[in-house]
Amino acid sequence: MSKVKTLGQFIIEKQDDFPYSKGELSRLLRDIGIAAKIINREVNKAGLADILGETGDNNVQGEQVKKLDVFSNEQFIAALTAGGEVCAIASEENEELIPVANEQSKNAKYVVAFDPLDGSSNIDANVSVGSIFAVYRRTTLSGPGTLEDFLQRGTELVAAGYVIYGSSTMMVYSTGKGVNGFTLDPSIGEFCLSHPDMKIPKSGKTYSINEGYYVHFPDGVKKFIKWCQEEDKSTNRPYSSRYIGSAVADIHRNLLYGGVFIYPTTSQAPNGKLRLLYECNPLSFIVEQAGGKASDGYRRILEVEPKSLHQRTPFFIGSSEIVEKAEEFMKKYSVVEAKN
């Protein structure tokens, strides 16, 4: 029976990767793990809300029953604020960044940007959803964090990860030295190492895109989709189309088995739909650490210069050979001037 290794034990074991850190990043990752366990508990009973007597806006304890994405947001903010390791927080749920100014935090070394519950509209259909987080080292010297601390390229990420609440709940993260996955064991309330040193296959046979928007896609994406659908046994084509409307779930599956996820520009999303700072950058950091690729169709996502907190970007992420093939079509059929 192999010895179980918890997230906490793993973090401490990897402490030596950060000789200059006095444990701040370790405590920060622990704080994120705590929020994830609390969110997991609520996500897993979402369908039971009515049965548990949580009807309308007030539950049996007379507390305000919150939408799960609001609840998740509050858990991350509470855990990160109490943990004292971040000087500011940015969330998909909050228009403005949240400076953390308590005594311990105002000189903390890190800022965290996160999407507390991506794909939350799927919860009532019992479809997997996810939390995504990005950890940047502050660039300002002291005091509560500012917008400047967040507007950093993804190449500056110190750590990034996601939690997927699915048939089991997993936390997958990287601190720049590979990717490791931890599965929550509810019987002991611990994330346990289940997927050490994750690597994405160089190729695959799955493409994930919402083909309902086909007519609005750039020509390069249309040509790539038709390429995926051609018969060619030597390159595992035709690919299977797998798209469940929850990016963390689609990208996690592709990370395990190979494939590509694409959210390109459409008429309703002229800059793409997914957000650079707290969705595309952290997911790209992880997939690159696992040997994959992530671009906006032309440029490496991690090198895109952020201009605002909630900036969107077209997003091509997954197995390196498939992303490169999609980029070939984009460069051949959908040439645009580099934006910056």
Binding site for ligand P6P (CB under 6 A): 118-119, 121, 210, 245-247, 273-274
**Token representation of residue 287:** 């997939």
Q: What is the 3-state secondary structure (H, E, C) of 140-190?
A: CCCCCCCHHHHCCCHHHEEEEEEEEECCCEEEEEECCCCEEEEEEECCCCE
Smallest distance, Å, CB 167 to ligand P6P? Answer: 18
CA dihedral 141, 15, 118, 77 (to 10 degrees): -50
Q: By the 8 A CB rule, do 262 and 243 touch?
A: no
Complex with ligand P6P: residue 70 or 192, whichever CB lies closer: 70
Complex with ligand P6P: residue 246 or 289, whichever CB lies closer: 246
Instruction: Report the DSSP beta bridge partners of residue 175.
Output: none
Smallest distance, Å, CB 315 to ligand P6P? Answer: 9
Smallest distance, Å, CB 119 to ligand P6P? Answer: 4
**Token representation of residue 329:** 């079509």
Smallest distance, Å, CB 276 to ligand P6P? Answer: 13
* Cα distances (angstroms) measured from residue 326 to each of 121, 224, 268: 29, 6, 21
Smallest distance, Å, CB 212 to ligand P6P? Answer: 7
Complex with ligand P6P: residue 234 or 268, whichever CB lies closer: 268
* Cα distances (angstroms) measured from residue 169 to each of 31, 101, 172, 285: 17, 32, 10, 21
Main-chain dihedrals φ then ψ at residue 254, nearest 5 degrees: -70, -30
Smallest distance, Å, CB 58 to ligand P6P? Answer: 28
As a whole number of angstroms, the distance between CA 319 and CA 294 comes to 9
Smallest distance, Å, CB 106 to ligand P6P? Answer: 32
Complex with ligand P6P: residue 91 or 175, whichever CB lies closer: 91
Complex with ligand P6P: residue 157 or 209, whichever CB lies closer: 209
Q: Look-up: residue for tokens 């903390």?
A: 108
Complex with ligand P6P: residue 2 or 268, whichever CB lies closer: 268
Complex with ligand P6P: residue 107 or 121, whichever CB lies closer: 121
Smallest distance, Å, CB 121 to ligand P6P? Answer: 6
As a whole number of angstroms, the distance between CA 159 and CA 175 comes to 4
As a whole number of angstroms, the distance between CA 4 and CA 233 comes to 41
Picking from 321, 317, 335, 290, the residue whose alpha carbon sits closest to that of residue 227 is 321
| CB count in 10 Å sphere of residue 22 | 10
| CB count in 10 Å sphere of residue 232 | 9
Q: 278: which DSSP letter?
A: I
Complex with ligand P6P: residue 100 or 251, whichever CB lies closer: 251
Complex with ligand P6P: residue 127 or 192, whichever CB lies closer: 127
Q: How far is CA 2 from the centre of its chain?
A: 30
Smallest distance, Å, CB 148 to ligand P6P? Answer: 26
